[in-house]
Amino acid sequence: MDYLPIFADLKQRPVLVVGGGEVAARKIDLLLRAGAQVRIVAQALSPELEQRRQAAQVSWSAQAFLPEQLDDVFLVIAATDDAALNAEVFEQANQRHVLANVVDDQPKCSFIFPSIVDRSPIVVAISSSGKAPVLARMLREKLETLLPSSLGQMADIAGRWRENVKAQFSSMRARRRFWEHAFAGRFASLASAGKLAEAEQALQQQLESAEDVSHNGNVTLVGAGPGDAGLLTLRGLQVMQQADVVLYDHLVSDEVLDLVRRDADKICVGKRAGSHSVAQEETNRLLVELAQQGKRVVRLKGGDPFIFGRGGEELQAVKAAGIPFQVVPGVTAAAGATAYAGIPLTHRDHAQSVIFVTGHCRPENNGVQWETLAKGQQTLAIYMGTLKAAEISQQLIAHGRAPDTPVAVIGRGTRSDQQVLTGTLVNLEHLAQQAPTPALLVIGEVVSLHQELAWFGHHPETDGTQRPSVVNLA
């Protein structure tokens, strides 16, 4: 982060503003709303600031800036059209370790003003670290339309009822669930309609009838998608934000993990080929044990949890223990990675079917139907196949697939460092050895469309994404 976002308590704290024009007036309006004691240093005051001075809302300390004026203030704002004066204010403030903001001059700011959505006491601050203020303003405008004006009143009521709820529920988990239900239920609806007295009655009724549900745990299986956090479903995000504990795989990207609620426990139960860090039986046991402790457990799996993700096995264990569960599907790697690589899985000129295959089967399940997989006019999307790429290539060719069949190995699909390595079936092993993991093997005539349809990272002037490395071994 370029700046640490903090909320400062300015009530009854002295703040110095150097400047008396319209820009200074806008900053002073925010400072007064926060309860600051505003002192102004300026040669003259704008009509608006003069009115505030006469109303004793601000004090006009001096016409000229002197360094000693900074000795007892909490922070300072320089809002003049004199660059030399603004620079002097900043330097003098730095020497005294006083926070300073020079308006519209980011290098001379030890703090900056964000764009603000004010639903006091709920306040949302948005900042681009001074790099794109128009973008920050546009985001604020969108949030203004999404956040109801009743949020502040709801927060005020909640503040008054916190002690009552704390007295009713001894555990933090039970209190959190009470409030989550309140903010999503009748209380919130009544508050949004402006019926504040009835809203408080609804809160009282909920408190009187509520049971301690802290022991009612559950499990939600969530597909995290192939890597790009933008492909996570809205439902998946909502569940992750409500979780008490998240069990995740190595395939889940850091960008997706960053979206988990901050105070949730995160436990890695990932597996890697040839090195099982957590046995499947241990993962099953953890799911059951944590849910039986009353926790809301999210099992976060890369891609879609029901496609080569052992999600069914895990839910069988949860079901057997009598624990409630649900499933949130995700974008599977074959759909996401190929789409980002510009490779359609089906195309009426090239492939009328697509087969999803795992290259990592149980040792005893070696009866692969190579004759079926080797048929033409179909696409093979092979998960976890890099270690067996040589065998896959040999068997497909031996069973009739042409050696010059187009292939692609998509490493770290949908992520900013995605690599698409293309060639033919005969050199699949070589491509797989070069690809970063996780990687998806794609075999079929549709791969020939990659050069024409590739879009992700290929147009930085329009989409802002990075250009992936591409190797063609055709």
Tokens of 173: 């988990």
Tokens of 447: 């791969």
The partner residues of 268 in beta bridges, in order of sequence, read 248
CA angle 415–339–345, rounded 5-degree value: 140
- Residue of 93, 103, 321 whose CA lies nearest to 218: 321
Q: Is 364 annotated as a binding residue?
A: no
Q: How far is CA 229 from CA 25, 35, 143, 244, 416, in A?
A: 41, 39, 20, 20, 11
Q: Say if CB 370 and CB 396 are below 8 A apart.
A: yes
| Pairwise CA distance, residues 303 & 435, whole Å | 19
Instruction: Name the catalytic one among 156, 212, 266, 271.
Output: 271
173-207 b/e (C-beta count within 10 Å ≥ 16 → b)? bbbbbbeeebeeebbbebbeeeeeeebbebbeebb
Q: Is 50 annotated as a binding residue?
A: no
Between the CA atoms of 118, 123, 126 and 127, what dihedral angle is there, to the nearest 10 degrees? 110
Q: Say if CB 413 and CB 226 are below 8 A apart.
A: yes
Q: Is 307 annotated as a binding residue?
A: yes
Q: Is 414 annotated as a binding residue?
A: no
Q: Is 413 annotated as a binding residue?
A: yes
Q: Is 384 annotated as a binding residue?
A: yes
388 included as an active-site residue: no
Instruction: Name the catalytic one among 249, 295, 301, 388.
Output: 249
Please report where in the chains the tokens 């759909």 appear, as a residue.
335
Q: Report helix angle 151-168 to 172-183, nearest 10.
A: 150
Q: Is 224 annotated as a binding residue?
A: no
Q: Is 87 annotated as a binding residue?
A: no
Q: Is 241 annotated as a binding residue?
A: no
Tokens of 242: 């409500």
11 included as an active-site residue: no
Q: Is 333 annotated as a binding residue?
A: yes
Q: Is 44 annotated as a binding residue?
A: yes
Q: How far is CA 35 from CA 30, 57, 152, 221, in A?
A: 9, 10, 18, 47
Binding-site residues, in ranges, read 22-23, 43-44, 226, 302-304, 307, 332-333, 384, 413
Question: Which residues fall in the annotated binding site for NAD(+)?
Answer: 22-23, 43-44
Which residues are part of the catalytic machinery? 249, 271
Binding residues for S-adenosyl-L-methionine: 226, 302-304, 307, 332-333, 384, 413
